[in-house]
Amino acid sequence: MKYSITCLSFNFSTNHKTMQTDQLASSQEFIRALKAPKDPPRPGGIRKIDLARQAWELETLFIPSKAEVIVEWVLQSLLANGTAQGTESGILDGKSWKLLADIIGTCPNPNLNSLPTWLNGVINRVAVWPLFTRLLRALGTVPGSDQGLDGLRVVTSVARVLLPPAALKANCDTVASCFWEVLAMFATRHDEETLLSAVDLSDSIVSTFESSFGHYSNKKKIAITLVDHHLDSWLRQSETRHSENAFLTEFRHRLFDVGSSIIFTPEHTRSIFQHSDTHPVLLATASSPRIFTVYVSALRTHKLSVFLDQNSSAGNLVKRIRGAARELFARSVAEREWSVVAQLTQSAEELQVVDDEWASNLGALVESAVQALDNKSTVERERIGVNVCSTLACILRLNFDIVEPFTERLLSGLCDAPPTVRAQAGMVFRLLLDYHSKARTLPSLLPQLASAGSREFYHATCVGPVFDPTFVARLRRSVAAFVTPGQILPCTQHLLSDLASHLRAVQDTPEPPRKKRRTSSGDKRDDEYQAVHVALASRLVVDVLSSLPVKTLKPDLFEQLRVCVDEFDAGVLSETISMLLNVPHLSWGNQLVLAAALRIRYALRQSRCPVQSRHVPKGDVAAEETSMLQMVQDASVSGELVTEIVRVLTQGQRTKEHICGVWGAALARIHSDAENQQDSSWNGSLAHTENHVWFPLWVLLLDRQLRIIESNLSAEQLKAILNLFVVMGRTADSGYGVTSAGLFDRTVALAQFWEMSNIRKTLNDKIVHDTSSLDEVDLHKALKAFRKGKASKHTGSHDVAISMYRIAALAPPDYLDRSAKAALLSRALCADVLATSSKDRAAVRVVLRQLSSGGTVALPEEYVRYLLDPQLQAIRESPSSPQDADDVLSTMTTSFRVYSRLAKEAGTPDEIVAVLRAVETLQLFDLPYWDDPNAVISIRATLSLLNTILETWGTKSTLPDQIHALVVKILQQIYNRVEQTKQVVTDLLIESARTLHLCEQWLNSDGTKNSHRARRFLRTLVSQNSVASEALLRLLTQEIQNADEDVRLLIAAFTLNAQSRDNGNDIPQGAEQSFGEACRRISAEQHGALTNEIETLLLEPETNQTYRVATIRMASLGIRFAPEGTSKARRRTTTAVLHALAQLPQLAMFQEACAIFVALYTWLAHSASI
């Protein structure tokens, strides 16, 4: 590119007269200046590089081979000055590189056959590769050195022209020196900005080096150089760098792969194999696990070059490769760094190199893994747990027999896995379960699972992977599907016999001295371990018994099974319950055992249990139930036991009075604990007396007994439950724990909750009653205080009333009665103003949207103006989700429709005029509001207001004067914003332009509309490297319809939308809908032009696969949404597109798009036949 002399910018301070004296007069003067020993050639003159710039740009200065002379001088100058270190290095001179880029940029595309002759001569005389080697060395050591080089863009443009032909002149050692500097720079520099700017340059160097290395005869020499001098730099490319730019990570992977191709050439791979015990590359596997994969792959690729002895049959080669992999694996995992072990084990699995010879190595790993899981340090288990479980999962898939001897210890170690490890631990449990299920050996696993829970931390076990709902459901399915008829009876007998022996041991153990709030983390007594085992085994037994496939049993075997269950229920189970109910003060362990016994009794007496017990209690049942009811009221009884007591006491046919009495005691206990304990979260354990008793009861209430309380509890008890709902529904989430708010939200969202008439009536009455305090609030005074920045005197005194909106927001509107709806709607405005949290405010606005969506109720214009004012909204927390903002917008739009209808039909425009005046005064489309995130809702609401006015009056009607004057002022503000050219194009700007296009007849007296805004936005988006949105497609559709815009812009916008997708099939549904709607709305002629252009694109070659998929999708949409009157053209285009699809390469990413199009074609053919 040529620049005029007046546009030059010299980096010196001199006046105009001096500049005139430094103008070059002749070519001889220029040559003498370049050959001068000093720089600048004359004292006080300009530098040689500036003279070279002048000579290049002065067309009147004739120098034979001017480009050749200047380029050679600049290159030699850079090479001569590049020996200095640090910032003094002349090789970083930006002016020199810019001049080179400008001159070499005039060369044609860097094709080796089309380079100018003079450039070949320069490359022959100048050492190009050492120049770039020194440049990279300087970049790697001087901070910010890329800034003077325009982010290395000019250097990259020079490199792309010079390096490929220079590589033909230089030997591979010289080219490799430059590659070593690339490795060093990406190993030592940590500032992402510099590295990102160097990626393109480095990529050119790496590509050229790969080509040179591929033709080099002495590849082993380069490999030895890398191993001896640059091994550390190469290994660092494989290190995991969290939060690093993905582009940099991808390039580092490429550098590692190129280094691998250097090291693992056939001859060097043989050398590595022969010295595998001592070779530094293989010794580094423990720190860089990717070497394992590369090494094994190289052995397979070069097996005939590596194994040169006579015994080279295919089977023997495979065995030797697996042996070499095993030896490297064993050395690399010796230190038991579990992150490395996990990666290597996974690689061994993927490479399929594990055979029977690996058994001892993998067995040692499993033993180490079990020992690591037995570590009592939670911090250590959290650090290594995920990798240990990943290793075990791989070994289980490779060879289950290796893990089987350690199953019991393994289960025991994983039961109380820390929260961060539970997902991976669950995977190990699933693999164990799946193997035993397919092998039909579940009866051997179930007792091990039942005994795996004898752990110190029972509370962690209860929420561990064994009792994860997903695993429990999988276990039930496996028992139902894979336990054979011959295994059912022995399996049940084994489980019940084992459980009976532990229950008898508890009966024979004397009650220990009672300690206050005793837990398992206190004295580690044998009876407590026994109790933990019983508690956990009971849970598993219940799941197994309720899932047994008894329908496959013959009648005699089924009778034996029932007898076994009856004997267990009538014998040791009933004896244990009776004994423990007669103990005055139950210890912690005995509470666990009694809860377990009651859990089993409840399961055996359920009607849906496959082996329902036929035992009829013969003792004093009433006395037992009285004792249980007293335990419910005892504050020292654990939540687990109270929960099981309530389940048993409400099971079967019970009177209403009995159920009311049981739940009355339970609710009193819940209420007491809820008042005394402020934390409303729970870790999921049912074991410790320290846990809130009301949480287990709450789970029971919400999951199992809604129907029971609906049918039997009194109105006062229902009201007490709902009061607890409100109190507990205001807590925050608690990490891995369960919260009352979460339980409550889940329950209220259930349809069955709202289908219970008694609960619903009580709740509606409560809503009306609890929100009545808001009637005391004056909205005008509350807003006035809010605008002044003062807290209303009512703030904080209506939290209960506002919390009712959290419940109402979860309720289906049809289930709220008329009085509740009226109360919520009339009091919502005050609740919104007084709400102190974003969640409460969001709930209020959800209720407002739901109850005002009918379009007949308008909110007071004073409240609407409050919602429109960004300054007032900025005081509050930002909306917690996009849905919250949409709720506000929907509420305001509903009011706008009512205001507009009243203004047109009743002639009362006061409300809409007040809102328009407020919007015009705010000037939302000017700075600073336009760039303020808090103003986005207000701007969107303004656009909605204008669209509503347009919808009400129509495009051909005349607006009333009051409304028209304000609308014109607002449109003028939008016009000023839209017509600014130097601004970022956003969806909000495009939507503003779309609204302006629709309403422009009110702004322009002659009714003309400005067009081509969409074209300008599209051009700006391309320059910003941004993605076109559905909003732009909609604007384009309007301009194509009304302003005769070029229909091909739809293709450009849709393709730009797809450019950010890795797969063209991931195009957003909204973009496809907008494109289809555009096809439907344009004329038949325009649609014909569009489909012809798409057909042409399909027939042309295209290297970008994402664009190709987007073109196929456009073809499908264009034919599917064709306007009326295009049936013949549609059939012709369909046939043409099918021919085009047949020419496409058979790539996976094309298949989905092609399948959609073929399905469309089939549908069209079927429609035509009908």
Three-state SS string over 930-963 comes to: HHCHHHHHHHHHHHHHHHHHHHHHCCCCCCCHHH
pLDDT value of residue 1076: 83
Question: Residue 415's pLDDT is what?
Answer: 79
Name, in order, each residue with C-beta under 8 angstroms of 474's C-beta and a sequence gap of 6 or more. 430, 433
- Whether the CA torsion 523, 528, 532, 533 is positive or negative: it is positive
Q: For 447, which DSSP code?
A: H
3-state class of 1045 per DSSP?
Answer: coil
Which sign, positive or negative, has the C-alpha torsion 714, 720, 726, 732?
A: negative
Q: Residue 682 pairs with which residues in a beta bridge?
A: 738
| pLDDT the model gives residue 311 | 66
Task: Judge contact between 831 and 770, C-beta under 8 A.
Answer: no
Cβ neighbours of residue 48 under 8 Å, at least 6 residues apart?
33, 34, 36, 39, 40, 41, 73, 77
- Would you say how long the chain is, in residues? 1170
Which helix or strand (DSSP H or E) is residue 448 part of?
helix 442-451
**Sign of the torsion formed by the C-alpha atoms of 294, 299, 300 and 302:** positive
CB 942 within 8 A of CB 917: no
Residues paired with 738 in a beta bridge: 682
Among 669, 697, 666, CA closest to 682: 697
In angstroms, the CA 138 to CA 85 distance is 7
CA 93 to CA 288: how far, in whole Å? 38
Whether the CB-CB separation of 447 and 407 falls below 8 Å is answered with no
| Closest to 46 in 3D by CA, of 22, 73, 78, 70 | 22
Task: Identify the pLDDT of residue 108.
Answer: 52
Buried b (16+ CB within 10 A) or exposed e, 882-918: eebbebbbbbbbbbbbbbbbbbbeeeebebbbbbbbb
The per-residue pLDDT for 232 is: 93
- Write the burial class of residue 664 (CB in 10 Å: 0-12 exposed, 13-18 middle, 19+ buried): middle
Bridge partners, residue 768, by sequence: none
784, 787, 789, 790: CA torsion to nearest 10: 10
pLDDT at 16: 34
pLDDT of 1005 reads 59
Give this prediction's pTM. Answer: 0.69
Q: Note whether 547 and 480 are within 8 A (CB).
A: yes
Distance CA(255)–CA(263), nearest Å, equals 12
DSSP 320-376: HHHHHHHHHHHHHTTT--HHHHHHHHHHHHHHT---GGGHHHHHHHHHHHHHHHT--
pLDDT of residue 8: 26
**Helical spans, DSSP H, in 729-798:** 740-748, 751-754, 757-770, 779-787
Q: Regarding beta strands 681-682 and 738-739, do their DSSP bridges make them parallel or antiparallel, or are they unpaired?
A: antiparallel
- The answer to whether 130 and 29 have CB atoms below 8 angstroms apart is no
Looking at residue 1082, what DSSP letter applies?
Answer: S
Distance from the first to the final alpha carbon of the chain? 64
Residue 6 pLDDT: 27
Question: What one-character DSSP code corresponds to residue 682?
Answer: E
Structure tokens at 775: 């009637």
Query: How far is it, in rounded angstroms, from Cα 911 to Cα 908?
Result: 8
Long-range Cβ contacts of 923-929 (<8 Å, 24+ apart) = 923/973, 924/870, 924/973, 925/973, 925/974, 925/976, 925/977, 925/992, 926/973, 926/976, 926/977, 929/870
Cα Rg of the chain, angstroms: 40
Residue 926 and residue 938: Cα distance in Å, rounded? Answer: 13
- Helix or strand run (H / E) with residue 1069: helix 1069-1081
Token couple for 286? 């423990």
H/E stretch holding 596? helix 588-604
pLDDT averaged per 10 residues in sequence order, the chain, 1170 residues: 28 33 63 76 78 79 80 88 60 85 69 73 89 86 62 84 89 93 88 84 91 90 93 90 82 93 92 91 91 93 81 79 93 91 94 92 92 80 89 93 90 80 88 93 88 58 67 90 92 92 81 50 60 85 92 91 92 91 85 91 89 79 88 83 88 88 85 66 54 63 73 85 70 58 72 81 88 85 76 68 84 86 88 82 86 75 85 63 78 87 84 89 88 86 90 81 89 88 83 86 66 80 73 83 81 75 56 82 84 80 73 81 76 74 67 70 59
Rounded CA gap, 567 and 615, in Å?
8
Count CB neighbours of 1012 within 10 A.
12
1155 by Cβ neighbours in 10 Å (0-12 / 13-18 / 19+) ranks as exposed
The 10 Å CB-count burial string (b at 16+, else e) for 498-517 is bbbebbebbeebeeeeeeee
Angle at 334 between CA 333 and CA 336, to 5 degrees: 65
Distance from the Cα of residue 1056 to its chain's centroid: 24
CA distances from 12 to 3, 37, 89, 429 (A): 19, 20, 20, 74
What sections of 109-189 are H helices per DSSP? 117-125, 128-141, 153-169, 172-188
- Rounded CA-CA distance 745/575 in Å is 41
Tokens of 534: 């019983």
* Spatial separation of the C-alpha atoms in residues 389 and 111, rounded to whole Å: 54
Residues 6+ apart with CB under 8 A from 20: none
Q: Are residues 127 and 91 in contact, defined by beta-carbon separation less than 8 angstroms?
A: no
CA-CA distances (angstroms) from residue 307 to 267, 323, 1121?
Answer: 11, 13, 64
What backbone phi and psi angles, to 5 degrees, belong to 803?
-65, -25
359-373 vs 378-398: helix crossing angle, rounded to 10: 150
Cα 827 to Cα 802: distance, rounded to the nearest angstrom: 9
**233 neighbors 187 (Cβ within 8 angstroms):** yes
Q: Is 836 helix (H, G, I), strand (E, B) or coil?
A: coil
CA-to-CA dists, residue 714 to 661, 663, 694, 719, 975, angstroms: 10, 10, 20, 9, 65
